[in-house]
Amino acid sequence: MARTRSEQSRRAILESALSLARSGGYGKLTVDAVAAAAGVGKQTIYRWWRSLGEVVLDTLREHAKSLPAPETGSLEGDLTAFLGATFRLQRGPNGTAEVLRGLMAEAQLDDGFAPSFAEFIEARRAVLRSIVLRHVPAARGSEAEATVDMLFGAMWYRMLVKHGPLDSAFAQTLAALAARQHGEKR
- Give the pTM: 0.86
In degrees rounded to 5, what are phi and psi of residue 154?
A: -65, -40
C-alpha closest to that of 70 among 183, 175, 182, 181: 175
CA-CA distance, 174 to 181, in Å (whole number)? 11
Q: Around 58, how many Cα atoms within 13 Å sit in the side-chain half-sphere?
A: 16
Count how many residues are written for the chain.
186
Query: In this predicted model, what pLDDT tens digit does every residue of 105-147 receive, in sequence order?
Result: 999 999 999 999 999 999 999 999 999 999 988 777 788 899 9
Q: What is the pLDDT of residue 67?
A: 76
Cα distances (angstroms) measured from residue 40 to each of 22, 47, 62, 98, 167: 20, 12, 21, 25, 38
Structural domains of the chain ordered from first start:
7-51 (1.10.10.60), 67-181 (1.10.357.10)
pLDDT interval class at 66 (50, 70, 90): confident
Q: What is the mean pLDDT of the chain?
A: 91
CA-CA distance, 19 to 82, in Å (whole number)? 24
